[in-house]
Amino acid sequence: MTYAIEMLNITKDFPGIRANDNVTLRVKENTVHALLGENGAGKSTIMSILFGLYQPTSGIIKVRGKEVTISNPNVANDLGIGMVHQHFKLVDCFTVTENIILGKEPTKNGIVDIKSAVKKVKELSELYGLNVDPNAKIRDITVGMQQRVEILKMLYRNADILIFDEPTAVLTPQEIHELMHIMRNLVKEGKTILLITHKLKEIKEAADECTVLRKGKYIGTVDVKTTSEQEMATMMVGRDVSFTVEKSEAQPKENILEIKDLNVKDSKGLYAVKNFSLNVHAGEILGLAGIDGNGQTELVYALTGLCKAESGQVLLKGKDILKLPIKKRLDSGMAHVPEDRHKHGLILDFTLKENFVIHCYNKPPFSKHGILQPKVIDEYADKLIEQFDVRSGQGKDTPARSMSGGNQQKAIIAREIDRSCDLLLVVQPTRGLDVGAIEYIHKRIVEERDKGRAILLVSFELDEIMNLSDRIAVIHDGELNGLVYRKDTDENELGLMMAGSIKKVEAVI
Residue ending a domain, among 357, 392, 420, is: 420
Tell me the CA end-to-end span of the chain in Å, nearest whole number: 63
* pLDDT for the residue numbered 104: 85
What are the tens digits of pLDDT across the range 82-108? 998 777 789 989 999 999 999 888 888
Lowest-confidence pick of 232-246, 273-287, 303-317: 232-246
Check whether residue 284 and residue 377 sit in a common domain: no
* pLDDT for the residue numbered 170: 64
User: Considering the domain boundaries, does residue 243 fall inside one?
Assistant: no
User: Considering the domain boundaries, does residue 242 fall inside one?
Assistant: no
Residue ending a domain, among 378, 402, 420, is: 420
* Gap between the Cα atoms of 143 and 141, Å rounded: 7
Q: Is the pLDDT of residue 175 over 80?
A: no
* pLDDT for the residue numbered 323: 92
In the chain, count of helices (H) and strands (E)?
A: 16, 25
What are the tens digits of pLDDT across the range 463-488? 899 999 999 999 999 999 999 999 99
Check whether residue 427 and residue 502 sit in a common domain: yes
Best CA proximity match to 262, nearest among 296, 230, 223, 236:
296
Check whether residue 415 and residue 428 sit in a common domain: no
Written in H, E and C, the secondary structure of 240-301 is CCCCCCCCCCCCCCCEEEEEEEEEEECCCCCEEEEEEEEEEECCEEEEEECCCCCCHHHHHH
Check whether residue 204 and residue 134 sit in a common domain: yes
How much of the chain exceeds pLDDT 90, in percent?
Answer: 67
Q: Is the pLDDT of residue 382 over 70?
A: yes
* pLDDT for the residue numbered 379: 96
* pLDDT for the residue numbered 173: 65
User: Considering the domain boundaries, does residue 248 fall inside one?
Assistant: no
Check whether residue 101 and residue 227 sit in a common domain: yes
What are the tens digits of pLDDT across the range 123-165? 988 888 888 899 999 988 877 788 889 889 988 988 999 998 8
User: Considering the domain boundaries, does residue 362 fall inside one?
Assistant: yes
- Work out the mean pLDDT of the chain and round it to a whole number: 91
Instruction: Let me know if 456 is exposed, middle or buried by CB neighbors in 10 A (0-12, 13-18, 19+).
Output: buried
Contact residues for 270 (Cβ-Cβ < 8 A; gap 6+)? none
* Gap between the Cα atoms of 373 and 325, Å rounded: 27
Give yes or no for a contact between 11 and 59, defined as CB atoms under 8 angstroms apart.
Answer: yes
Which is more confident, 399 or 201?
399
User: Considering the domain boundaries, does residue 314 fall inside one?
Assistant: yes
User: Considering the domain boundaries, does residue 244 fall inside one?
Assistant: no
Check whether residue 258 and residue 380 sit in a common domain: no
What are the tens digits of pLDDT across the range 401-427? 988 878 899 999 999 999 999 999 999
* Gap between the Cα atoms of 237 and 439, Å rounded: 11
Q: Is the pLDDT of residue 11 over 90?
A: yes
Best CA proximity match to 351, nearest among 403, 396, 408, 405:
396
* pLDDT for the residue numbered 237: 86
User: Considering the domain boundaries, does residue 247 fall inside one?
Assistant: no
Check whether residue 125 and residue 274 sit in a common domain: no
Strand partners, 197: 36
What are the tens digits of pLDDT across the range 334-362? 999 998 888 899 999 999 999 999 999 99
- Max CA pair span of the chain: 73
Mean pLDDT of 50-65: 95
As for how many domains the chain has, the answer is: 3
**Domain hosting residue 450, numbered range:** 253-333+421-509
Residue ending a domain, among 237, 264, 280, is: 237
* pLDDT for the residue numbered 80: 94
How much of the chain exceeds pLDDT 70, in percent?
Answer: 99
Check whether residue 47 and residue 67 sit in a common domain: yes
Alpha-helical segments (H) within 55-113: 73-78, 96-101
Check whether residue 327 and residue 388 sit in a common domain: no
Check whether residue 401 and residue 443 sit in a common domain: no
Q: Residue 365, preceding bond cis, omega within 30 degrees?
A: yes
Contact residues for 358 (Cβ-Cβ < 8 A; gap 6+)? 347, 350, 415
Check whether residue 491 and residue 350 sit in a common domain: no
What are the tens digits of pLDDT across the range 261-277? 999 999 889 999 999 99
Check whether residue 187 and residue 278 sit in a common domain: no
Give yes or no for a contact between 194 and 165, defined as CB atoms under 8 angstroms apart.
Answer: no
User: Considering the domain boundaries, does residue 357 fall inside one?
Assistant: yes
* pLDDT for the residue numbered 71: 95
* pLDDT for the residue numbered 13: 93
What are the tens digits of pLDDT across the range 209-265? 999 999 899 999 999 999 999 999 999 988 887 777 889 999 999 999 999 999 999
Give yes or no for a contact between 280 and 452, defined as CB atoms under 8 angstroms apart.
Answer: no
* Gap between the Cα atoms of 466 and 457, Å rounded: 11
* Gap between the Cα atoms of 155 and 133, Å rounded: 16
Written in H, E and C, the secondary structure of 191-246 is CEEEEEECCHHHHHHHCCEEEEEECCEEEEEEECCCCCHHHHHHHHHCCCCCCCCC
Mean pLDDT of 425-430: 93
